[in-house]
Amino acid sequence: MTVPAALHVPPTEAPPTALATEGLGVYYGDWLAVDDITLQVPRHHITAFIGPSGCGKSTLLRCFNRMNDLIAGARVVGRVTYGDVDLYDDRIDPVQVRRRIGMVFQRPNPFPKSVYDNVAYGLRVHAMTEDLDDRVEDALRRAALWDDVKGALKKSALALSGGQQQRLCIARTIAVEPDIVLMDEPCSALDPIATGRIEDLMQELRRDYTILIVTHNMQQAARASDYAAFLTTEVDGDGDRRRGKLVEFAATNELFTHPQDPRTENYITGRFG
Amino acid sequence: MTAKLAERPAGADLVRSGIRAQAANSSFAFVVRAAAVSVFVILVLIVVTMTREAWPAFWHSGLGFVTGTDWSPSADLYGALPFVYGTMVSSLMALVLALPVSIGIALFINEYAPRRLRAPGVYLVDLLAAIPSVVYGLWGVLVLGPFLLPYVQKVADTIGTWPVFSAVFGGPVGLKSMFLAALILTIMIVPIITSITREVFDTVPADQKAAAVALGATRWEMVRGAVFPHSRNGMVAAVLLGLGRAMGETIAVALVIGSTAQITTRIFAPADSMAAVIANTFGESSGVNRAALIGLGVVLFAMTIVVNMAGQFVARRSGRKGAGT
Ligand SMILES: Nc1ncnc2c1ncn2[C@@H]1O[C@H](COP(=O)(O)OP(=O)(O)O)[C@@H](O)[C@H]1O
Ligand SMILES: [Mg+2]
């Protein structure tokens, strides 16, 4: 798992790696949407993926829990390793991968069921039904939602506010005790207060989980993440369509204060300065 | 909308188009209302005229028309219960058989089959619905019935001799039977239930399915967790439409049910249904007999309305529950 020199792996005493990619690319049909991504995501930290819209952040994130499998025509090349397992090995069961590597989506998407059943769903699927009530409560507490819903566990999840729904989705995800949580712009549909609560929550969760978050919000990336990857789109020689590339990956304060690549600097100063 | 209009300078043009739009709007509303009213009027007219035609039979038999079990026009006896029973039992059996098959086909087409098989799958199912019901009836009595007869005989000779089971599967066995009618009805209502459930499954938000999959659900667990809860109302609607279809089916049932007015729990015995007896005997009927057959039509009509209303009620209740549990 060598990393090309051009990519700036966090310099000082890099923590153990949770996920790594090598020459990762994603095709949609014939079109290579994301090309040649090589990076190492550190354990028990928050890693942010930033970049202009359409540069392939969501596409990249979906490679880590094999959600691209659901998209007709999507094809992954290169390697994604989790520990020492190649996630795209033929023997790997994507269902098991997703149990270990959970995902929170851009729009809150609770099931049209009660608050309780939303959290219990994954537990039931994975036969983790011993002490079900306790597990549900624990997940809701860790998602900082317990105090809001403890009297209304049987109420429909759809009656919650957007921010509460998103925290419920986080509770549902961590209830099955994953190792890694992927978040695809989890706050983009939320107001600033709800966003703040989710960010606080991420800091809490960071102790137990490795978090990968896609965000289009520079401030959020700067505030909430330990490491950051900047992706952009480039036109490659032959085609006229643009494709996503990884420009720079570094500790977040490094990336924001001393970007190594002029494209990163332009993007950050353009949006941030 | 109003705010935008108010921002525009008031001019003749604005006023005229407003009036024209209003006129179009109110004439549209009129047409819609007229259509709704005329449907209602037609319904009432059918009930009134049919009931009037059937009146001599109702007068003749009184409440016994729906509670009586003897139907013999030669003896002037008109007890319709065996037909009501036959209609309900054959339809419910068909429903019980058709529902899992239909849900299975709908799920296969929507969730399991490769994308390129989707359109052909939908087309094939719709094709089943296009076959005239008389063809189903003929096929049932000429092909399916004779083909199944030896197997049915075997079931009657084994399971049908066990205690308790004999009440349902016991002999004697006939070619035409409640069972054959239920099977034919099953095949006939599978397309409608399939196509409605499939359309309902299509409306399940992709992000809810993704949520289930992202939690490590297998496809079946995803279906149970995301597709079914979201589709409950629609499935109830599908069941009701299927039941209505089965209860009203006439010619196919008339050909395979065996035209025997009896109430028995044995499914391999011949039976009869309301629609079938009307089709089979209306031509030669006259007087009170004719009125009694029309009366059967009135009862069938009332039953389908009750089924529909019950269904609406269940659909609404499960709707509330669907959001709550
Ligand atoms: N299911 C899909 N099929 C085809 N193209 C897609 C699909 N999803 C995304 N794309 C394309 O891939 C590129 C990257 O998309 P995405 O990963 O959603 O970017 P981001 O999340 O950074 O905005 C975009 O050009 C987008 O149009
Ligand atoms: Mg995205």
ipTM entry? 0.87
8-state DSSP, A10: -
* Same-domain pairing of B137 and B271: yes
Q: Are B259 and B317 part of one and the same domain?
A: yes
Contact A156 B226 (CB under 8 A): no
Which has the closest alpha carbon to A67: B112, B231, B200, B217?
A: B217
**Arithmetic mean of pLDDT over chain B:** 88
Backbone angles phi, psi at A114, to 5 degrees: -70, 165
Interface test with B, best of A67, A70, A183, A188 (most B CBs within 10 A): A70
The domain that holds B270 is classified in CATH as 1.10.3720.10
Domain-embedded: residue B74 = no
Answer whether residue A235 is part of any domain: yes
Size of interface A-B (CB pairs under 8 A): 76
Q: Assess if residue B216 is contained within a domain.
A: yes
Residue B69 lies in a domain: no
Residues of A in contact with B323 (CB under 8 A): 112, 156, 158
Partners of A169 in the β-ladder: none
Instruction: Report the half-sphere exposure of A109 (CA within 13 A, side-chain side).
Output: 24
Spatial distance between the Cα atoms of B129 and B124, rounded to a whole number of angstroms: 9
Which residues, 6+ apart, have CB-to-CB distance to B285 below 8 Å?
Answer: B73, B293
CA distance B209 to A165: 16
A32 lines ligand 1 (CB under 6 A): no
Same structural domain for residues B25 and B93? Answer: no
Q: Which residues contact B100 (CB under 8 A, 6 or more apart)?
A: none
Contacting residues for A240 by C-beta, under 8 A, at least 6 apart: none
pLDDT reading at A225 higher than 90: yes
Co-location of B89 and B230 in the same domain: yes
CA of A245 to the centre of ligand 2 (A): 15
Residues B260 and B131 in one domain: yes
A192 pLDDT above the threshold of 90: no
In a domain, A188, yes or no: yes
Q: Running DSSP on this structure, what letter comes out for residue B108?
A: I
Q: Report the CATH number at residue A29.
A: 3.40.50.300
B 76-135: CB under 8 A from A = 115
Q: List the single residue in B208, B216, B218 with the smallest CB-CB distance to A109.
A: B208
Residue A251, min C-alpha distance to chain B (Å): 28
User: What integer pLDDT is reported at residue A238 of this predicted model?
Assistant: 62
Distance from CA of B320 to the nearest CA of A (A): 10
Residue of minimum CA distance from atom 26 in ligand 1: A54
pLDDT on residue A49: 95
Is residue A252 situated within a structural domain?
yes
Indicate which residue's Cα is closest to atom 14 of ligand 1: A56
In angstroms, rounded to a whole number, what is the distance separating the alpha carbons of residues B53 and B57?
9
The per-residue pLDDT for range B288-311, each reduced to its tens digit, is 999 999 999 999 999 988 887 776
DSSP state of B216: T
Residue B176 forms part of a structural domain: yes
Model confidence at B94: pLDDT above 90? yes
The answer to whether A72 contacts chain B (CB < 8 Å) is yes
What pLDDT is stored for residue B19 in this prediction?
A: 66
Instruction: Give yes or no: residues B102 and B54 share one domain.
Output: no
Q: What is residue A1's predicted lDDT score, i.e. its pLDDT?
A: 41
Q: Does residue A3 have a pLDDT over 90? A: no
Q: Which residues does B225 contact at the CB level (< 8 Å), separation at least 6?
A: A111, A121, A125, B212, B217
In this predicted structure, the answer to whether residue B318 has a pLDDT above a threshold of 60 is: no
**How far is the C-alpha of A90 from the C-alpha of A9, rounded, in Å?**
29
Q: Is the pLDDT higher at B146 or at A83? A: B146
Rounded Cα gap, residues A96 and B217, in angstroms: 9
**Domain match, B137 and B249 both:** yes
Query: Is any Cβ of chain B less than 8 angstroms from the Cβ of A120?
Result: no
As a whole number of angstroms, the distance between CA B154 and CA B157 comes to 5
- The band of B323, judged by pLDDT with boundaries at 50, 70 and 90, is very low
Residue type, B3: A
Residue B12 lies in a domain: yes
State whether A109 and B207 contact (CB < 8 Å).
yes
**Alpha carbon nearest to ligand 1 atom 5, residue:** A28
Total domains in chain A come to 1
Query: d(Cα A172, Cα A120) in Å, to the nearest integer?
Result: 7
Query: Domain check: are B107 and B5 in the same one?
Result: no
Q: Give the number of residues written for chain A.
A: 273
Q: Are residues B117 and B231 in the same domain?
A: yes
Same domain, B251 and B195: yes
Residue A57 belongs to domain spanning: 17-108+179-268
Query: Given 3-state DSSP classes, what are the helix, strand and coil percentages for chain B, each rounded to the nearest 5?
Result: 80, 0, 20
Burial per residue of B225-235, b for 16 or more beta-carbon CB atoms within 10 angstroms, e otherwise = bbbbbbbbbbb
Distance A192 CA to ligand 2 centre (A): 19
Residues β-bridged to residue A49: A214, A229
DSSP conformational letter for A231 = E
Of A70, A158, A176, the CB nearest to B216: A176
Closest CA to A19 of A86, A95, A76, A78: A86
Q: Which of A109, A128, A166 to mutate to test the interface with B (most CBs of B within 10 A)?
A: A109
Residues B4 and B116 in one domain: no
Global pTM reads 0.79
Q: Has residue B68 been placed in a domain?
A: no
Q: B89 lies in which domain range? A: 80-324
In a domain, B103, yes or no: yes
Distance CA A186, CA A197 (A): 12
Quick one: B271 and B238 in the same domain? yes
Q: Which amino acid is at A18?
A: A
Cis peptide before B114 (omega within 30 of 0): no
Averaged pLDDT score across all residues of chain A: 88
Kindly state the tokens that stand for B321.
């529950």
The pLDDT value recorded for residue B64 is 92
Query: Would you say the CB of residue A71 lies under 6 angstroms from ligand 1?
Result: yes
**Total domain count, chain B:** 2
Residues of chain A contacting residue B218, judged by C-beta atoms under 8 Å apart = 95, 125
Atom of ligand 1 nearest to the CA of A56: 17
Nearest protein Cα to ligand 1, atom 6:
A28
Please give the Cα distance from A215 to A194 (Å, whole number): 15
Q: Sign of the CA dihedral B10, B15, B16, B18? A: positive
State mean pLDDT over A77-94: 92
Establish whether residue A56 lines the binding site of ligand 1, counting it when its CB lies within 6 angstroms of any ligand atom.
Answer: yes
Closest-CA residue, ligand 1 atom 3, reads A28
